[in-house]
Amino acid sequence: MRKSYTATTGGHKARKRFGQNFLIDTKIIDRIIATIAPKAEDDLLEIGPGQGAMTLPLLEKLNQLHVIEIDRDLIGLLESFDKDNLIVHQGDAMKFDLSTLPTPIRVVGNLPYNISSPILFHLLENRSLVQDMTFMLQKEVVERMVAKHGNKIYGRLSVMMQAFFEVELIFIVPPESFEPAPKVDSAIVYLKPLTQSLVGDVTVFKKVVKAAFAQRRKTLRNCLKSLLTQEQTSIDLSQRAEMLSVADFIKLTQDYEKQH
Ligand code: SAM
């Protein structure tokens, strides 16, 4: 068996391959719970409850809480809490069918960093079922999510998130708040689906944004040459992708769609 253990916390050996960094700082946990501000009747899903650092304080406030955890070894621990209002699902959050839960649902979690982007994209696809989301992620990822055009860290993740969500960095969390401690800072991010996103087809939008950022140092004319020409859009294609606002990307996609 592959060795993936890095540290022992509360009898459980933290597994690197599941991105396990358990929260141990109660002040930080309190601040996260205050940010979520759960109301008893809220429908909530926690992704990756781990050993329950956030789960137990959430359970104190909620009539019911759903959790989805991939590590079978932690399922027994979660079930041993013996809480009637805790509904434990075992499986992969990236494949979890949100429509099986009461919706719109509030989603929270200290996400496994190695797969935070695919989880965010899975939730983006399912945003009509989501009320809001509060996540712990690597600070660098959150900074990219909230970055504005013209900034060198503005990229695909910034455009995809901001086209569909209001995105806000809430606060920074230092490595020593976890066991084992990660190498980098983390941050809490709040996402709320926009009531009216102007994007028509998500798949087409994704394709245009991906192509635009495929070679950041090249002009859009170059990056998008297989998709559309300058004659087909009012967006200036002599720019680089990082200069385009989210609204510009939406316009660009609409112009592309007119040709197809
Ligand atoms: N919430 C706990 C805490 O704050 O201490 C644990 C956070 S730890 C960073 C991430 C958790 O997500 C782990 O419990 C891990 O086993 C779980 N996990 C990893 N990949 C997952 C996946 N694909 N689906 C569901 N849970 C996953």
Task: Give the tens place of pLDDT for each residue, 140-175.
Answer: 999 999 999 999 999 999 999 999 999 999 999 999
Atom 10 (ligand 1): residue with closest C-alpha? 112
The atom of ligand 1 lying closest to the CA of 49 is 1
Domain map (residue ranges) of the chain: 16-193, 202-258
- What pLDDT is attached to residue 5? 43
**What gap in Å lies between CA 160 and CA 2, rounded to an integer?**
35
- What pLDDT is attached to residue 8? 53
Ligand 1 centroid from CA 46, angstroms: 9
* Average pLDDT score, the chain: 94
**What gap in Å lies between CA 22 and CA 110, rounded to an integer?**
9
Atom 23 (ligand 1): residue with closest C-alpha? 92
pTM listed for this prediction: 0.94
Task: Give the tens place of pLDDT for each residue, 42-51.
Answer: 999 999 999 9
Largest CA distance in the chain: 64
The strand ranges marked E within the chain are 5-9, 12-15, 22-23, 44-47, 65-69, 86-90, 105-110, 130-138, 165-173, 178-179, 186-193
- The CATH code that applies to domain 202-258 is 1.10.8.100
- What pLDDT is attached to residue 13? 87
- What pLDDT is attached to residue 156? 96
**Overall fold of domain 16-193:** Rossmann fold (3.40.50)
Ligand 1 neighbours, Cβ below 6 Å, are 18-23, 47-51, 53-54, 68-71, 74, 92-94, 110, 112, 115
φ, ψ at 11 (rounded to 5°)? 90, -20
Which segments in the chain show pLDDT lower than 50? 1-6
Ligand 1 centroid from CA 241, angstroms: 34
- What pLDDT is attached to residue 6? 44
Ligand 1 centroid from CA 111, angstroms: 6
**Residue 189 near residue 119, CB atoms below 8 Å:** no
Domain 16-193 and domain 202-258, same fold? Reply is no
